[in-house]
Structure 1
Amino acid sequence: MLYLCLSVLASSLIFVVFKLFDRFKVETLYAIVTNYVVACLVGLLFYTGDVPYSEIARKPWFWGTLALGLLFIVVFNLIAATAQRIGVSVASVATKMSLVIPVVFGMVVYGEELGIGKQIGILLALAAVYFASIKGKSIRVRRPSLLLPLGVFLGSGIIDTSIKYIQEVYIHENEYPLFSATVFGAAALTGILFAIGKSRHTPLRMDVRNILGGVALGIPNYFSIYFLLKALQNDTLNSASIFTINNVAIVMFSTLLGIVLFKEEISGKNWFGIGLAVISILLVALF
């Protein structure tokens, strides 16, 4: 449970850093690219063995990391587009509701069994994510705009599912830092190519604020993945339980951090969602 708690803490800090970007006028795209470079370097730093650069491409998980790196950038841009065109609440709900995909994958592929308590807990978790995320009016999305949150939902779910599958089948525990570093390195390369492509319309600009923002984001970003990989080794909880607790706890904890650090206003629906989150976590963890 310690690694799961650390993963939740690291993931929640990512939202805090994103919130601070507006305050310090950090340009998100450049900070994101820097963040992936930093996360890659942190992974290489924490890898205890010799880094076999020439052998990385021969690792059975190598091509999976390239695909994940590309997905990280694509999903990030989908989240940004969803938040800007439809609303932050829709983006948040679509991201966290994606926990359904790895849960179903675990049941189908690994034959993970879910007792009635865990089934109720997962259903409450979905409701908790919705109520804890909505701000003001209820979420309403027009049909033509559904493709954006659908892309976020599928992309986020595929990322979590792929991480679980690769962790289960291909990675040795001592390779977690190297695997994470390679994923972030692939995301950094994809992000750099994306930024270069965008520079045709908008000149590239890098300043100290963007670099510092990327450093502040990259460190918790790396550990959110590293600790999730460690948590997935849990002998007591299956992957369905871990992804449920992880996603719901992130929503709950990041909401509480918003209250404490940024004096965000929380509605009755949000408090109801937080309450459901606590109940769902208890059900999934105890049964």
Structure 2
Amino acid sequence: MTVLLLLASIVFNTIVLVVFKYFAMLGVDVYKAIIYNYIVCISLGVAVTGTVPVVSALEQPYLPYILALGVIFVFGFNVAAQTVRYFGLTITSILQRTALVLTVLYAVVVFDESLGWLKMIAIGMALAAIVLVNMPFGRAGRKPGDGPFWVLLLPVAMFLVNGVIDTILFHIEASRITTTGDLVMITNIFSFALLSGLIFGVVRYGREFFIVKKATLWAALMLGLPNFLSIYFVLRLFGGGWDGSVAVPLNNVGILCAATLTGVFLFKERLTAYKTAGLLLAIISVILFSRVI
């Protein structure tokens, strides 16, 4: 059973990246699709937990944290979509998984955890992986003119956003505010992401924001299903029969490999020597991180 949960987590996490790739290829209104995908996630969360979103969070000690996460989720998903568009599945996946560097550093500084040689090696490998997958600098698999200048900042933004999300979730867990495996809390994060996304959309676009094409609604559904299931199955996996030291690296390494293979064979992404070396370092660093977090 646990093996099936692992495979499901890997598959649905990879599908999310694949959906982003198709968004770019089909010219989908990414922001609207991301915002409305949260309706799908919330609906599934309510169906599974039987709780009322937002209301169930009002008296919880984690409320300030999930308010912040709601805003960050919207920004982070948009960054992820653009990173997949311009840099591909491999680089995006590596940046997401190696962002644990920030969580480890936060644990050392705030919770006075020791910075042993294993952590330092893992951090060094993760940073080296990020450098390698973006070489040669200024290109990262792109041709001049592929996009505006801000595109070059996407890898940094992707790394930082995922690092901040992981760190906030780690803080909630380490401070014993609640368990991050709480699906009710995750559903509430989706709810606040929807609310913050709607507010920003109305401020930026006015009433036009609610003019949604049928294709955008289909895109939101295609994203919302794997988005919810990716989190659902990873929570089930971590609450299953395997120790975290086994489940975490297998899940992260599996996603890294699946995203890379999908990018290479489905989207013909080029796996250069730099990317290959970066991928190998990322895999090793993820395994090491699982031993120290």
1:259 to 252, 257, 264: 264
1:92-114 CA-to-partner distances (Å, cap 9, x unmatched) read 47655532211112334445556
1:197 maps to which residue?
Answer: 203
1:98 maps to which residue?
Answer: 99
Aligned AA (2:222): A
2:279 maps to which residue?
Answer: 274
Alpha-carbon deviation of 1:267?
Answer: 1.4
1:134 maps to which residue?
Answer: 134
How many residue pairs are counted as aligned between the two chains? 276
2:143 maps to which residue?
Answer: none
Aligned AA (1:171): T
Kept after mapping to 1: 8 A contact 2:97/2:286: no
Runs of 5+ unmatched residues, structure 1 = none
Identity value in percent: 31
1:28 maps to which residue?
Answer: 30
User: 2:284 and 2:96 mapped to 1: Cα distance?
Assistant: 21
Kept after mapping to 2: 8 A contact 1:44/1:177: no
Instruction: Mark the CA change 1:107 to 1:57 in structure 2 (over 3 Å): closer, same or farther.
Output: same
Q: How does 1:192-271 map to 2 (within 5 A)?
A: 192-200=198-206, 204-229=210-235, 236-237=244-245, 242=248, 250-271=255-276
User: 2:171 and 2:237 mapped to 1: Cα distance?
Assistant: 14
2:43 maps to which residue?
Answer: 41
Root-mean-square deviation (Å):
4.0
User: 1:5 and 1:105 mapped to 2: Cα distance?
Assistant: 30
Instruction: Mark the CA change 1:65 to 1:17 in structure 2 (over 3 Å): closer, same or farther.
Output: same
Aligned AA (2:134): I
- TM-score, reference length from structure 2: 0.73
User: 1:261 and 1:161 mapped to 2: Cα distance?
Assistant: 33
Alpha-carbon deviation of 1:186?
Answer: 0.7
User: 2:220 and 2:11 mapped to 1: Cα distance?
Assistant: 18
Q: Does 1:170 align with 2:177?
A: yes
User: 2:83 and 2:287 mapped to 1: Cα distance?
Assistant: 31
Alpha-carbon deviation of 1:165?
Answer: 2.0
1:56-110 CA-to-partner distances (Å, cap 9, x unmatched) read 31122223211110111233455667889xx637x84765553221111233444
Kept after mapping to 2: 8 A contact 1:39/1:184: yes
- TM-score, reference length from structure 1: 0.75
1:15 maps to which residue?
Answer: 17
Instruction: Mark the CA change 1:6 to 1:124 in structure 2 (over 3 Å): closer, same or farther.
Output: farther
User: 2:53 and 2:288 mapped to 1: Cα distance?
Assistant: 44
Instruction: Mark the CA change 1:194 to 1:277 in structure 2 (over 3 Å): closer, same or farther.
Output: same
User: 1:245 and 1:63 mapped to 2: Cα distance?
Assistant: 32
Alpha-carbon deviation of 1:185?
Answer: 0.9
Aligned AA (2:245): L
Aligned to 2:61, what secondary structure does the other structure show? coil
Alpha-carbon deviation of 1:176?
Answer: 1.6
User: 2:116 and 2:216 mapped to 1: Cα distance?
Assistant: 47
Kept after mapping to 2: 8 A contact 1:164/1:229: no
Instruction: Mark the CA change 1:130 to 1:213 in structure 2 (over 3 Å): closer, same or farther.
Output: farther
Alpha-carbon deviation of 1:160?
Answer: 1.0
